[in-house]
Amino acid sequence: MKSWINVIISLLLLSFAPWYVYADDSSDLTQKDHIYVIQEKIFHRYHETGLFMSYVPDDDFYDSFALGANYVFHITDVFSWEVFRAAWMTNQEKSLKDDIERSLDITPTHYDEPNYMVHSQFWFRPFYGKSAVLNKRIIFHETGLFAGIGMIGFDQKKSFGNNANDTALSVSCGLGTTFFLNSYSGVSFHIRNLMHFKKDQTENRISLEMGYSFRFNLNPRKKHLEPPTLDRFHRYISSDVSNDELYYNNYTFKTKE
């Protein structure tokens, strides 16, 4: 009986031994400097222009569809200024107006039908990465936040009297993601919160947007003379480095404790 107990204890010790050895190796690694690689944005361009479509689903009286254009100046890899974002809108009247007039026998004094919007806003894009699609293709993407100010123009469709045109201050903020098709173009998806400060009320609207953008530089980009190779990477690792960071082409090699 004791021999069987000894065998079982020995098997348990052997089964846990690899985990114990692995844990020791892991603890040793945490006590030494090791190197990790950060890849800079390879699709960065200073200028960007594009076209987009949008849909505002939460207007009370209209389904609003828009077609627009924009221009963005990328100050750095992270910060950008969208100089202008202009959209021209077409609207389809909902049945709410007829339902109110028919069921409640009430006619509102006017309806505000949006015509166009123009905004200027700043972007902060802290997230950048790449994803594998069905293990067949790598897609690069970036995600950021934006906020800005502009104006909205609309028609006041009056139930009695002549119609009128008016404008209002508009504040925009939201979240956007761009999937790069290649080094110069990409497809973007935005969700935007809009606040329109009209004379008699403040409206809050949500805009769902999809666009195509083209990025470019006015000056030629600097070309790398030599592409990074595994041999050069090993030479960097084995060399004595006094700084905490090593820059090689479009990669940053950092030492971490």
Looking at residue 60, which CATH number applies to its domain? Answer: 2.40.160.20
SS3 content of the chain, % helix, strand, coil (to 5): 20, 55, 25
11 lies in the same domain as 91? no
Within the chain, residue ranges assigned H as helices are: 2-30, 96-103, 230-238
How confident is residue 99, by pLDDT bands cut at 50, 70 and 90? confident
How many domains, in total, are found in the chain? Answer: 2
Q: Same domain, yes or no, for 23 and 118?
A: no
Spell out the residues 6+ positions from residue 93 whose beta carbon is closer than 8 angstroms to its own.
61, 62
Range of 11's domain? 1-30
Mean pLDDT value of segment 207-224? 82
- Do the domain assignments include residue 135? yes
Domain contains 195: yes
**Straight-line distance from the first to the last Cα atom of the chain, in angstroms, rounded to the nearest whole number:** 51
- The answer on pLDDT for 79 being more than 90 is yes
205 Cβ contact partners less than 8 Å away, ≥ 6 residues apart: 56, 58, 59, 193, 194, 195, 196
Q: Are residues 134 and 207 in the same domain?
A: yes
Q: Are residues 158 and 184 in the same domain?
A: yes
User: Domain for residue 99, yes or no?
Assistant: yes
| Same domain, residue pair 118 and 15 | no
Instruction: Let me know whether 26 and 123 are in one domain.
Output: no
Q: Rg of the chain over CA atoms, in angstroms?
A: 29
Give this prediction's pTM. 0.69
The 10s digit of each residue's pLDDT in 130-149 is 899 898 889 999 999 999 99
Residue 142 and residue 105 share a domain? yes
Q: Is 221 helix (H, G, I), strand (E, B) or coil?
A: coil
| 148 and 182, same domain (yes or no) | yes
Shared domain check, 1 and 107: no
In a domain, 19, yes or no: yes
Q: How far is CA 130 from the centre of its chain?
A: 13
Least confident interval from 15-19, 192-196, 226-230 = 15-19
For Cα atoms 46, 49, 55, give the angle at the middle one, nearest 5 degrees: 135
Same structural domain for residues 16 and 65? Answer: no
Asked whether residue 211 carries a pLDDT value surpassing 90, the answer given is: yes
pLDDT at 173 over 60: yes
